Structure 1
Amino acid sequence: MPTITLTGLETCELWESEEKLYQCNEHGRTCSRFQSSQQDARTKTGEQAYECHQCEKFYSYLSVRTQLREMTFVYEENLKSFSTPSDVKIHEGRHTWNKHYVCKHCGKAFSRKFHCKLHERLHTGEKPYVCKHCGKAFIAHRDCKRHESIHTQEKPYVCKQCGKAFSISRYCKIHERVHSGEKPYICKQCGKAFSRQLSCKLHEKLHSGEKHYVCKQCGKAFSIQSYCKRHERIHTGHKPYVCKQCGKAFSRQDDCKAHERIHTGEKPFVCKQCGKAFTVHRVCKRHERIHTGEKPYVCKQCGKAFSTQSSCKAHESLHTLEKPYICKQCGKAFSIQSYCKRHERIHTGEKPYVCKQCGKSFTTQYNCKTHDRIHTGEKPYVCKQCGKAFTVQIYCKRHERVHTGEKPYVCKHCGKAFTTQFSCKSHERLHTEEKPYVCKKCGKAFLTSVDCQKHKRIHAI
């Protein structure tokens, strides 16, 4: 049985070398290791001749084995093949599950020394791999190589469904799962499935409760490093992601990509129920809940369920009564930042959301989208009792109360119940004598907007 024994240093030098010594007879592709060349050839022929002792599975390639402090490449017919000695550690770890390598900073244990070193760089900030083109530094060698392919613009991997091209094979496979709906990665704690391994690992950290990453500005802790970095940009105002079309800058890469699709018109995310297409994946998921009725976000205080995380957080703030966001114009306080910004537009008159069909502008994105349905005729909200369809969800809920007789809004003063919040607030003004709607011509005040509008017609005559 032929073997080649190398020290850790020699092995490292071999891996770091850019020299390519072996050539595949079939493809003509050069490889840096004999192992890689053999693997390339066997991939072409589809031959499966080798068996792993532990799991008794057959594989196509020659193998590499790692032994403690020395690296031994073993070519024999009864082992699984790997492209690097470290990959053998992964495979053998599945049989033994030993975790001998411990992080010096947080105590987390690893079955591979390489993974432990990578993890420790998160604490030290060390980034030894630098892009040759732009100088950007990376913790891991593969991340650097992946980044460098952006500069070369080579995209040899093409999606079979839509033809979109990718520079990395793995990215292409992940993208294809958008079409197939495949979710091979399962959370061990709750069983939730994911299309990406990284997404699954990040999700599992939420169960562990570990929060190793701390904001340098305010001390807020996070379980995921990228979440911490994203949060820190709130303090610094740093927006590293720039739209190639119009130059608009973003603090999050996902937001930048979603914005760029406005220019390209690309809508890769399609609702499985009705076929409606979306530029953003999370918006598509949110839309699909209209059909399924799923409400995965639950209030920790009262157990009320919501279809979106933002709605759940907004509701939870009602229990805490914390209102950290203050209007600069009038001093009114809000529990949600987006509510505060929306309110401030009353003072500024800003209407940033414009209908593409008729050009009408709106202060909120929600109102703009609701208005768009007048042009498209879309009515996604359907009454469960009679099947009547509505453009707006609150209109549908209000209608359903006709069937159920539900009156959830109760007057604080006399206990009278109402089907709509608007009716309840209008009624309460009879007790408080509040008249918020004022005629600009004569200063006369009214209980309701309708009464104020009727009055204004007197001046118009």
Structure 2
Amino acid sequence: MVADNTIFLMMAHSGEKPFHCELCDTSFSEEDSLNKHMKTHSRPKTLQCKLCDAAFPRRADLKKHKRVHTGERPFQCEVCDTSFSEKGCLNRHMRIHTGEKPFHCELCGAAFSRKGHLSRHERIHTGEKPYQCVLCGAAFSEKGTLNQHMNFHTGEKPFQCGLCDAAFSDRSSFSRHVRSHTGEKPFQCEMCNAAFLQKGDLNQHRRIHTGEKPFQCGLCDSAFSRKSILTQHMKTHTGEKPFQCELCVEAISQKDHLSDHMKIHRGDKPFQCEFCEATFSHKGNFTRHLQIHSGEKPFHCEVCNAAFTREGHFNRHMRIHTGEKPCHCELCVAAFLDSSDLKKHMVVHTKKKP
């Protein structure tokens, strides 16, 4: 019994509260206090608020509720000026200053200052998404995310920019927009000095350092660091060319390639070789030209000793080893290493020279 009392006294001095209520964020240093507290959840709610329809089992609960209407905040933080209507809210707030995180995840060891934050975190492991949209069926792990999602259906945009007329349906989009005014770039690369407005941009940038290419083409072996580049690449397989030149009949698969194409009409050749008089309208052509002077052949075959200045030539060469023929004729069963061979073959069917 003396040992038990000693343990309780130690908890009282240390502030440790290992007994947590599963129905709210309240914690206790003694199990008996937790048991008494649990009864408050099961008691009949006979005490009615005169200002609204809320009802409570205890007079103390009703007293705390009345502060919602009066705005009274009698519990003040001694470290900062923040005040609260409930002592429990003050206790939770104090963990910001003390750094205390009593709620621990059993699966990864992450620690949190509030039980609600732990519950949200645990859904990362379980995949649980208890908050479902009644209009489209989308499910979310947090109620706040569902509330913001509903704004897309209602058209409501409660997040208004104070510097321009822009308005947003969710807080994250609003925060990103505000940075466009302030110039703030809070997401910094730890490998170089690059900084970014959005975390997603930082994640994409990191792939430059890691070489990671998570977006794989399902039709060939090409892989890319960005989904947008994969989308552009897929047009090489589908033949889609949505961008039409207004000055000739040329159709282009990518918008930036159309900009490059327009230089042909304007005669722009801004890229000048330092070793000869050659000029180029495209930076890619200029870079490849420089390899003639340097003799650089960065693309090496691992099967034989062949090396190439261009990645396209390297890819074509590798098909000799693999036997892959990705360019198929739609009119017969013939297949070829590259599109130029396919075009030559099409003369057989069309009788027109390419």
Range into which the TM-score falls when normalised by the shorter chain: 0.5 to 0.7
* Residue identity matched to 1:371: I
* Residue identity matched to 1:382: Q
Per-residue deviation, 1:206: 4.4
Residue 62 of structure 1 corresponds to 43
Establish whether residue 191 from structure 1 lines up as the match of residue 25 from structure 2.
no
Residues 27 and 229 of structure 1: CA distance in aligned 2, closer, same or farther (over 3 Å): same
Per-residue deviation, 1:169: 1.0
Residues 446 and 365 of structure 1: CA distance in aligned 2, closer, same or farther (over 3 Å): farther
Residues 221 and 83 of structure 1: CA distance in aligned 2, closer, same or farther (over 3 Å): farther
Establish whether residue 371 from structure 1 lines up as the match of residue 317 from structure 2.
no
Establish whether residue 157 from structure 1 lines up as the match of residue 138 from structure 2.
no
- The equivalences for 1:233-382 within 5 A come to 250=186, 352-353=193-194, 368-372=205-209, 374=211, 378-382=212-216
Per-residue deviation, 1:214: 4.9
**Kept after mapping to 1: 8 A contact 2:47/2:57:** no
Inter-partner Cα distance in structure 2 for 1:205 and 1:229: 16
* Residue identity matched to 1:200: L
- The equivalences for 1:220-235 within 5 A come to 220-221=166-167
Inter-partner Cα distance in structure 2 for 1:197 and 1:230: 22
* Residue identity matched to 2:249: G
SS at match of 1:406: coil
**Kept after mapping to 1: 8 A contact 2:149/2:170:** no
Residue 323 of structure 2 corresponds to none
Tell me which of 243, 249, 270 is aligned to 1:436: 270
Per-residue deviation, 1:174: 0.8
Residue 126 of structure 2 corresponds to 180
Residue 39 of structure 1 corresponds to 37
Per-residue deviation, 1:182: 0.8
Residues 381 and 414 of structure 1: CA distance in aligned 2, closer, same or farther (over 3 Å): same
Per-residue deviation, 1:84: 3.6
Residue 390 of structure 1 corresponds to 223
Residue 200 of structure 1 corresponds to 146
Tell me which of 256, 262, 281 is aligned to 1:447: 281
Inter-partner Cα distance in structure 2 for 1:140 and 1:209: 36
Inter-partner Cα distance in structure 2 for 1:159 and 1:149: 17
Inter-partner Cα distance in structure 1 for 2:146 and 2:265: 54
**Kept after mapping to 2: 8 A contact 1:155/1:167:** yes
* Residue identity matched to 1:381: F
1:289-316 deviation per Cα after TM superposition (whole angstroms, max 9, x unaligned): xxxxxxxxxxxxxxxxxxxxxxxxxxxx
Question: Structure 1: any 5+ residue segments left out of the alignment?
Answer: 1-23, 30-35, 44-59, 76-81, 88-111, 240-248, 264-350, 355-363
Residue 305 of structure 1 corresponds to none
Inter-partner Cα distance in structure 1 for 2:150 and 2:223: 38
**Kept after mapping to 1: 8 A contact 2:105/2:111:** yes
**Kept after mapping to 1: 8 A contact 2:241/2:251:** yes
Establish whether residue 27 from structure 1 lines up as the match of residue 31 from structure 2.
yes
Inter-partner Cα distance in structure 1 for 2:93 and 2:84: 9
Question: Structure 2: any 5+ residue segments left out of the alignment?
Answer: 1-27, 196-200, 296-354
SS at match of 2:128: coil
Per-residue deviation, 1:427: 3.8
Per-residue deviation, 1:353: 3.9
* Residue identity matched to 1:38: K
Inter-partner Cα distance in structure 2 for 1:380 and 1:455: 30
- The equivalences for 1:43-122 within 5 A come to 61-69=42-50, 84-85=61-62, 117=69
* Residue identity matched to 1:203: H
Per-residue deviation, 1:396: 4.1
Per-residue deviation, 1:83: 9.2
Residues 204 and 65 of structure 1: CA distance in aligned 2, closer, same or farther (over 3 Å): farther
Per-residue deviation, 1:398: 5.2
Residues 154 and 426 of structure 1: CA distance in aligned 2, closer, same or farther (over 3 Å): closer
**Kept after mapping to 2: 8 A contact 1:185/1:196:** yes
* Residue identity matched to 2:280: F
The RMSD of aligned alpha carbons is 5.0
SS at match of 2:42: coil
Residues 218 and 157 of structure 1: CA distance in aligned 2, closer, same or farther (over 3 Å): same
* Residue identity matched to 1:202: Q
**Kept after mapping to 2: 8 A contact 1:132/1:148:** no
1:72-102 deviation per Cα after TM superposition (whole angstroms, max 9, x unaligned): 8669xxxxxx994599xxxxxxxxxxxxxxx
Inter-partner Cα distance in structure 2 for 1:140 and 1:205: 31
Inter-partner Cα distance in structure 2 for 1:221 and 1:182: 31
1:360-387 deviation per Cα after TM superposition (whole angstroms, max 9, x unaligned): xxxx85874443454xxx4422333x35
Tell me which of 230, 240, 247 is aligned to 1:406: 240
State the TM-score, normalizing by the size of structure 2: 0.53
**Larger Rg over CA atoms:** 2
Inter-partner Cα distance in structure 2 for 1:139 and 1:231: 34
Residue 105 of structure 1 corresponds to none
Per-residue deviation, 1:352: 3.6
Inter-partner Cα distance in structure 2 for 1:450 and 1:232: 36
